[in-house]
């Protein structure tokens, strides 16, 4: 696999980290999930996190049980209302993965397709008044989206 050697080295490095030091957020967790799924990471951090074939996927990584989807504010941007802002971003993804990663070990992973996620997010934010468009999921809540459609 493409990331095999990097994962082996990182696994050794994590075994040497002092108690309580976590490096799972961001790149290392994404690398671990891409390795686990057989995906390739996308360069940069503007759109999706990884791809497989022609399909792109969003990753949310945590070592706890908190997965945040952040879309900025409700304020119009480039003439777009908040609904269009979310739709434009999520529609580029085939789907999204939430993964609980300890070190470089993927402990738990869940997937939801972008259509189901988008429908949920638009309904959720239509019922809220706050300016920030941030939805926090637990793993259980994220997995429940699959059964709510």
Instruction: Provide the CATH number for the domain around residue 65.
Output: 3.40.210
What is the band of 5 on the pLDDT scale with cuts at 50, 70, 90? Answer: very high
Give domain status of residue 101, yes or no: yes
Give dist(CA 91, CA 112) in Å, integer.
13
Give dist(CA 42, CA 70) in Å, integer.
19
Give domain status of residue 129, yes or no: yes
Digit-coded pLDDT (tens) for 93-132? 999 999 999 888 999 999 999 999 999 999 999 999 999 9
Domain count, the chain: 1
Contact 109, 33 (CB under 8 A): yes
Mean pLDDT computed over 71-80: 84
Give domain status of residue 147, yes or no: no
What pLDDT is stored for residue 22 in this prediction? 53
What pLDDT is stored for residue 43 in this prediction? 76
* Percent helix, strand and coil across the chain, each to the nearest 5: 40, 30, 30
């Amino acid at each position: 696999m493409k990331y095999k050697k990097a994962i082996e080295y990182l696994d050794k490095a994590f075994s040497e980290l002092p108690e309580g030091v976590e490096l799972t957020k961001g790149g290392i967790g994404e690398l671990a999930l891409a390795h686990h799924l057989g995906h390739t990471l996308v360069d940069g951090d503007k759109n999706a996190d990884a791809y497989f074939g022609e399909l792109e996927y969003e990753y949310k990584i945590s070592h706890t049980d908190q997965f945040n989807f952040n879309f900025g504010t409700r304020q119009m941007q480039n003439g777009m209302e908040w609904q269009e802002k979310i739709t434009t971003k999520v529609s580029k993804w085939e789907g999204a993965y939430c993964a609980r990663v300890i070190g470089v070990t993927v402990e738990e992973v869940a997937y939801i397709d972008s259509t189901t996620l988008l429908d949920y997010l638009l309904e959720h934010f239509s019922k809220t008044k706050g300016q920030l468009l941030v939805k926090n999921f637990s793993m259980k809540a994220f997995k429940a989206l699959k059964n709510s459609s």
